[in-house]
Structure 1
Amino acid sequence: MSTQQDKHPVIIGVTGGSGSGKTTVSKKIYDQLHGQAIQIINEDTYYNDQADMTMEERKAVNYDHPLAFDTDLLIKQLSTLRNNKAIEMPVYDYKQYTRSNKTVHVEPTDVIILEGILILDDERLRDLMDIKIYVDTEDDIRIIRRIQRDMVERGRSLESIITQYLATVKPMHHQFVEPTKRYADIIIPNGGENQVAIDLLTTKIRDILVKHGHTELQ
């Protein structure tokens, strides 16, 4: 019989290239797991603190390289949540290209969806996940989505988005992101449009929750 102490958050890693549909898949899983305490944590929140750099230096950083992230902090805080303790999560300011001086208080929940392009790159991070998902989407679809997102949500110009994509996003995807596909338990083609895969995933997550002692499923 599972006790309260046996329970720990079920961690679902959702990765794929920029614009692959990771967010759509994550939100659909979130919506289907009604009745559970669930949250989404984005790897982008853990970009390095670059307050000591000039704006020109910040803009020149390769944000699609593993070294752009404070992965040690992410691993530490995810481990803390997994041990049913709260964290103070950093806040990243996309317009200033650095970490904000604010934090967000985050309590552990039954399910934590960790979303990001390089979450499967570090073995220590992979080992914290109960399910690892790779969202596989064609390059041309991904760049269109990235343009739409960055112009609307992040205040970037079309020229800067295209320049960044050709200089770092595309080559880093093929060098670092796509190779992590081999670590995935499940590969979802066509992103959020693949409702069959999302339904199957949700069923699997519910099974894991029950095994972890979360019996209050609806």
Structure 2
Amino acid sequence: MMFKPLVIAIAGCSGSGKTTLARELCTQLEATLFALDLYYRDLSHLPFETRDKTNFDHPDSLESELLIEHVRLLANGNPIRRPIYDFKTHSRVPNQFDPVTPTRVVIVEGILALHYPELLPLYDFSVYVDAPNQICLNRRIYRDMRERGRTEQSVRDQFEATARPMAEMYVVPSQLNANMTVKGTEALDWSVESILVELRKRSLLSR
């Protein structure tokens, strides 16, 4: 039987703690996680040096048409075939997809989750995770060196060249589209509980 999932958006600057929060909420709510990061445009047609210099923090770096369509499908209870992205090569894995079937709750997570106007009507609830620049940078260094094969200097350079200015231009203003804001420096379980309380207050968990 077709059902309409509860769709929750979680946005915030890179390194704010939004991914950790989204994963914990997914565990608590047995939700399907939809990460915008997997929708970077395929750059395999470019030389690697050119790919490496791409501004990955600009909204145009994501294939917004596809991700909006996929969120729309999930919001209506339909399955999708999600692309698989290789962060080390800045390219999609060719001819491979992850089949995703929505559960009762779908969590859309990414720095630009509250930026695209077409996505906003698809959300039942939205959260912005706020954190200071220095905290975001430190977390981004740790993540990108460990998970994405980057050097510390390359992460610092990218942060100053694109991540911070793009955040100020596109991510921070999107906080106005959120139903609530939590601090990325607070204890994770406190933020999770605050969100669950608000969802119950709005009778969104009783669907």
Tell me what 2:155 maps to: 161
For residues 183 and 38 of structure 1, the distance between their equivalents in structure 2, rounded to whole angstroms, comes to 22
Which of 116, 119, 123 is residue 113 of structure 2 equivalent to?
A: 119
Tell me what 2:39 maps to: 46
Tell me what 2:65 maps to: 72
Aligned residues: 204
Which of 168, 173, 193 is residue 167 of structure 2 equivalent to?
A: 173
Segment of structure 1 superposing worse, 19-28 or 192-201:
192-201
- Deviations 1:162-215 (Å, cap 9, x if unpaired)? 1111110111111111111111110001356253342131244453132x3xxx
SS state at 1:53 partner: coil
Which of 101, 110, 115 is residue 107 of structure 1 equivalent to?
A: 101
Alignment of 1:28-47 (within 5 A): 28-33=24-29, 37-47=30-40
Unmatched segments (≥5 aa) in structure 2? none
Deviation at 1:82, TM superposition (A): 1.7
Deviation at 1:51, TM superposition (A): 2.2
Tell me what 1:61 maps to: 54
TM-score, normalised with respect to structure 2: 0.92
Unmatched segments (≥5 aa) in structure 1? 213-218
For residues 183 and 91 of structure 2, the distance between their equivalents in structure 1, rounded to whole angstroms, comes to 33
* Cα contact 2:88–2:148 (8 A) shared by 1: yes
- Deviations 1:35-92 (Å, cap 9, x if unpaired)? xx41211110000122222212211110000000011101111111122221100011
Deviation at 1:27, TM superposition (A): 2.1
For residues 139 and 188 of structure 2, the distance between their equivalents in structure 1, rounded to whole angstroms, comes to 17
Matched, 1:149 2:168: no
Q: Larger Cα Rg: Structure 1 or Structure 2?
A: 1
Query: Runs (4+) of structure 1 moved beyond 4 Å?
Result: none
Deviation at 1:129, TM superposition (A): 0.8
For residues 137 and 169 of structure 1, the distance between their equivalents in structure 2, rounded to whole angstroms, comes to 14
The percentage of aligned residue pairs carrying the same residue is: 35
Tell me what 1:216 maps to: none
Code of the aligned partner of 1:14: I
Deviation at 1:117, TM superposition (A): 0.3
TM-score, normalised with respect to structure 1: 0.88
Code of the aligned partner of 2:22: S
* Cα contact 1:22–1:191 (8 A) shared by 2: no
Deviation at 1:157, TM superposition (A): 0.8
